[in-house]
Amino acid sequence: MLTRKKLAKRWDTTERTVDRRRALGLLPWVDLARGTGKRPQIRFRLEDVEEYERQARLCPGEGVGA
């Protein structure tokens, strides 16, 4: 599982870009705090990230850090 910060570093971009892609529904995510009444703990599964990266390579101009 990757945090927003680790994913942003992997993509050499900002956490805000990661947030935007998540909010647009482009990137699946998991809330580790779901059902606990606590603040969301957003994480990204490595296999989902790798699939997103593969798809981004198939679409020129849609790089993961863009």
Top pLDDT among 35 and 51 is at 51
Torsion, Cα 65 47 52 45, to 10 degrees, reads -60
Question: Is the distance from CB of 32 to CB of 39 less than 8 angstroms?
Answer: no
Instruction: For the chain, give every domain's residue range.
Output: 4-58
The Cα–Cα gap between 2 and 57 comes to 20
Q: What is the pTM of this model?
A: 0.81
Q: How many CB atoms lie within 10 A of CB 3?
A: 14
Residue written as token pair 């809330």: 31
pLDDT-derived band at 37 (thresholds 50, 70, 90) equals: confident
Q: What is the mean pLDDT of residues 28-35?
A: 91
**Rounded percentage of the chain residues whose pLDDT exceeds 70:** 88
**Rounded percentage of the chain residues whose pLDDT exceeds 90:** 70
The Cα–Cα gap between 55 and 53 comes to 5
User: At residue 62, does pLDDT exceed 70?
Assistant: no
